[in-house]
């Protein structure tokens, strides 16, 4: 009877071995989890940039074909939206009293900054600049200073 009672539970050596194995497994899994989270953010960034750029292109096409009201064809705008908010709020359609054409439901969130704020460039801005010349939005970029694993800045995507 005494033999059964003394054999309950784990010995100290068994506990040490178990915790060592557990630590080794967790140190191998943690970098893989971080890598996966980073890849998911990169995918979300690509999708958000593509969505905004597609909306800017649709706005430009609609303006070029005369589907938008006169206020969209300002001299300096070159048929690009003045702000990203204009894509969400909509632009008055040509010839219609109360009809607005909307190009985005909402401004996508930047997965790296966590905000719905994007860096903007107009046609006259240098492609590598981080300042916006104003007047219209030709392109967008992420405001994060992080870099991808290949060394390129996410702001250059």
Mean per-residue pLDDT over the chain, rounded: 86
Which residue reads 């790296």 in tokens?
112
Domain borders along the chain are: 2-156
More confident residue, 141 or 77: 141
pLDDT band at 118 (very low <50, low <70, confident <90, very high): very high
End-to-end CA separation in angstroms for the chain: 72
User: What was the pLDDT predicted at 107?
Assistant: 95
Average pLDDT, integer, range 136-150: 90
CA distance 111 to 108: 9
**What digits encode the pLDDT tens for the residues 21-47?**
999 988 888 888 888 999 999 999 999
Q: Are β-strands 139-141 and 100-101 bridged in parallel, bridged antiparallel, or unpaired?
A: unpaired
> What percent of the chain clears pLDDT 70, i.e. is strictly above it?
90
Average pLDDT, integer, range 111-129: 86
Q: State the alpha helices, DSSP H only, in the chain.
A: 2-6, 12-64, 85-89
User: What was the pLDDT predicted at 97?
Assistant: 73
Give the tokens for residue 74: 């300002």
CA distance 46 to 151: 16
Q: What is the DSSP letter of 44?
A: H
More confident residue, 133 or 38: 38
Average pLDDT, integer, range 121-150: 84
pLDDT band at 110 (very low <50, low <70, confident <90, very high): very high
Please provide residue 91's backbone torsions phi and psi, each rounded to the nearest 5 degrees: -125, 140
Average pLDDT, integer, range 85-113: 89
């Amino acid at each position: 009877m005494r033999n059964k009672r003394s054999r309950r539970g784990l010995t100290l050596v068994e506990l040490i071995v178990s915790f060592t194995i557990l630590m080794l497994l967790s140190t191998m899994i943690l970098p893989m989890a971080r890598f996966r989270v980073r890849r998911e953010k990169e995918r979300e960034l690509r999708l958000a940039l593509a969505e905004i750029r597609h909306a800017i292109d649709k706005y430009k096409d609609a303006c070029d074909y005369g589907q938008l009201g006169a206020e969209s064809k300002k001299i300096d705008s070159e048929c690009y939206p003045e702000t990203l908010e204009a894509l969400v709020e909509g632009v008055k359609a040509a010839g219609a009293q109360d009809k607005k054409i909307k190009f985005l439901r909402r401004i996508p969130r930047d997965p790296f900054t966590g905000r719905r704020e994007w860096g903007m460039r107009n046609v006259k801005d240098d492609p590598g600049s981080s300042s916006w010349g104003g007047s219209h939005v030709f392109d967008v970029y992420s405001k994060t200073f992080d870099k991808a694993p290949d060394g390129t800045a996410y702001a250059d995507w």
